[in-house]
């Protein structure tokens, strides 16, 4: 399953009301590190499709959600379970570190 594009309008339905945990990548088209981690997130989306949804929010196209959630820089990854933020990481990360971080949160 590929990553899901989420907007301000679809955030509640796609993320907050999701039955599965959702890893949200807040990113921007001009962000080099965002482009670096995108392939890793696509791979994680495929590998953990049964237990996790990976969503992407472009902070320029949908500025309300990141502002409301206090996103200060990109890339920022937030893990949601049951409509709540359970973990957050900012800055670029290698795929291995993202997978380890998700496992620490009970997602594997």
Q: Point out the residues that are catalytic.
A: 31, 34
Give me the phi and psi of 98, to 5 degrees please. Answer: -65, -45
Interior angle at CA 73, CA 71 and CA 76, nearest 5: 70
Burial label, 29 (beta-carbon count in 10 A; 0-12, 13-18, 19+):
exposed
* DSSP assignment letter at 16: I
């Amino acid at each position: 399953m590929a990553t899901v594009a989420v907007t301000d309008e679809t955030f509640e339905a796609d993320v907050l009301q999701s039955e599965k945990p959702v890893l949200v990548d807040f990113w921007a088209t001009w962000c080099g590190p965002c482009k670096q981690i995108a392939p890793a997130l696509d791979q994680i989306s495929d590998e953990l499709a049964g237990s996790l949804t990976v969503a992407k929010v472009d902070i320029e196209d949908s500025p309300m959600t990141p502002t409301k959630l206090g996103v200060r820089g990109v890339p920022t990854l937030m893990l949601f379970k049951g409509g709540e933020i359970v973990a957050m990481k900012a800055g670029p990360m290698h795929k291995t570190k993202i997978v380890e971080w998700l496992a620490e949160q009970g997602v594997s």
